[in-house]
Amino acid sequence: MLETLVQGVLLGGLYTLFALGQSLMFGVMRLTNTAQGDFIILGAFAVIAGLSLTGSAAPWMVALVALAVLPLAFGFGYALQRYVLNGTLGKDPLPSLVVTFGLSIVIQNLLLELFSADPRAIETGGLSTQGVALGDMSVGVLPLVVLAIAVVATGALQWLFARTSLGRSFRAVSDDREIAELMGLNAKKVYAFATAIAFVLIAIAGALQGMRTTVSPSDGPLLLLFAFEAVIIGGMGSFWGTLAGAMILGVTQQIGFRLDPGWGIWAGHIVFLLVLVVRPQGLFPKTRG
With a CB cutoff of 8 Å and minimum separation 6, the contacts of 289 are none
Instruction: Give the pLDDT mean for 56-70.
Output: 85
- Rounded Cα distance between 177 and 171, Å, is 10
Residue 27 lies in a domain: yes
Degrees, nearest 5: CA angle 257-150-281: 75
Boundaries of domain holding 74: 2-114+186-278
- 133-165: per-residue pLDDT in tens? 777 777 888 899 999 999 999 999 999 998 999
Does the residue 38 lie in any domain? yes
Confidence band, pLDDT 50/70/90 cuts, at residue 287 = low
pLDDT at position 289 over 70: no
Structural domains counted in the chain? 1
The helix/strand/coil state of 138 is strand
Task: Give which of 199, 178, 288 is closest to 238, Cα–Cα.
Answer: 288
> pLDDT for 79-93, tens place per residue?
999 999 998 887 788
Residue 35 included in any domain: yes
Q: Does residue 77 belong to any structural domain of this protein? A: yes
Q: Is residue 286 part of a domain?
A: no
Please check the confidence at residue 240 and state whether its pLDDT lies above 80.
yes
Buried b (16+ CB within 10 A) or exposed e, 26-45: bbbbbbbbbbbbbbbbbbbb
- Which residues, listed in sequence order, are joined to residue 139 by a DSSP beta bridge? 132
pTM of the full structure: 0.93
> b vs e for 159-187, b when ≥16 Cβ sit within 10 Å of the residue's Cβ?
ebbeeeeebebbbbbbeebeebeeeebeb
Residue 245 included in any domain: yes
> Residue 209 contacts by C-beta under 8 Å, 6 or more apart in sequence?
14, 18, 40, 41, 44, 215, 223
Residue 216 lies in a domain: yes
In a domain, 88, yes or no: yes
Q: Which residues fall within 8 angstroms of residue 115, CB to CB, at 6 or more apart? A: 45, 48, 217
Query: What's the confidence (pLDDT) of residue 102?
Result: 95
Cβ pair 51, 184 in contact under 8 A:
no
Give CA–CA dist 128/132, Å, rounded. Answer: 12
Using the predicted structure, report yes or no on whether residue 248 has a pLDDT greater than 70.
Answer: yes
pLDDT at 79: 96
